Amino acid sequence: MAHGCLQGVKYLMFAFNLLFWLGGCGILGVGIWLAATQGNFATLSSSFPSLSAANLLIVAGTFVTAIGFVGCIGAVKENKCLLLAFFVMLLLVFLLETSLAILFFAYTDKIDRYAQRDLKKGLHLYGTPGNVGLTNAWSIIQTDFRCCGVSNYTDWFEVYNATRVPDSCCLEFSESCGLHAPGTWWKAPCYETVKVWLQENLLAVGVFGLCTALVQILGLTFAMTMYCQVVKADAYCA
């Protein structure tokens, strides 16, 4: 009876970790593809130049793939050390995500102020050598969200030391249109515009977060259940 229960948990654990591992490979693959094909699209932050979507996906995909691999081998081999290692790693990831979420909501105002300062600082790197990614990122955001600057189009005046903005701020794009009158530029602040867009899609973000948490809790449950079954089986055989 105990052996049959162990085999059932083993198959569930293996199937779960196989999907977990494949998901990690998928995330890693998308990150590598973004880095290879969209390498010019980087972060807007001047303080964290490596904090791009591609790099985040590569790091996340590597961690998920590694954790899933450990879980798969642990399930196949019925190895207590690997099962416990999988449980501990997944638990640490879960606790880290939970802590970051709590800190984010607790310090939203401070994060807002810091983010705006950092973004304004990053504007001065726009169009400079070696910052093609940041330049492209700002151009895409201002064009897609129909906004200009971090808190106002006047943010660009300090960058250029003149009354002008990038051409991506123009209502109708044309060469050197950023030198025209302010009436031809987008007036909406990019920071608030993107923030409103995120708030409007908060439900989707919340559902994704809950699904991620549920998957991790299932993984923790399967791992600990199988670990206990293996310990019982070893004790029975002894």
Chain segment 80-133, per-residue pLDDT in tens: 899 899 999 999 999 998 998 899 889 988 998 998 999 999 898 898 887 787
Q: What's the distance, CA 92 to chain centroid?
A: 17
- Number of domains within the chain: 1
List beta partners, residue 170. 185
User: Domain limits at 43?
Assistant: 1-237
User: Is the per-residue pLDDT at 5 higher than 70?
Assistant: no
Can you tell me the distance from the alpha carbon of 66 to that of 232, in angstroms, rounded to the nearest whole number?
Answer: 27
Question: Which two structure tokens, joined as six digits, stand for 2?
Answer: 């105990």
Check residue 237 and give its pLDDT: 64
Can you tell me the distance from the alpha carbon of 139 to that of 127, in angstroms, rounded to the nearest whole number?
Answer: 10
Q: What is the pTM (predicted TM-score) of this model?
A: 0.76
Chain segment 180-208, per-residue pLDDT in tens: 888 899 999 999 999 999 888 888 888 88
Check residue 99 and give its pLDDT: 93
Mean pLDDT score of the chain: 84
Report which secondary-structure segment, H or E, holds 11: helix 2-37
Mean pLDDT of 217-231: 86
User: Is the per-residue pLDDT at 4 higher than 70?
Assistant: no
Chain segment 161-171, per-residue pLDDT in tens: 888 999 999 99
Can you tell me the distance from the alpha carbon of 93 to that of 96, in angstroms, rounded to the nearest whole number?
Answer: 5
Can you tell me the distance from the alpha carbon of 26 to that of 18, in angstroms, rounded to the nearest whole number?
Answer: 12
Can you tell me the distance from the alpha carbon of 114 to that of 126, in angstroms, rounded to the nearest whole number?
Answer: 19
List beta partners, residue 185. 170
Can you tell me the distance from the alpha carbon of 219 to that of 59, in angstroms, rounded to the nearest whole number?
Answer: 20
Provide the pLDDT confidence category of residue 2 given band limits of 50, 70 and 90: very low
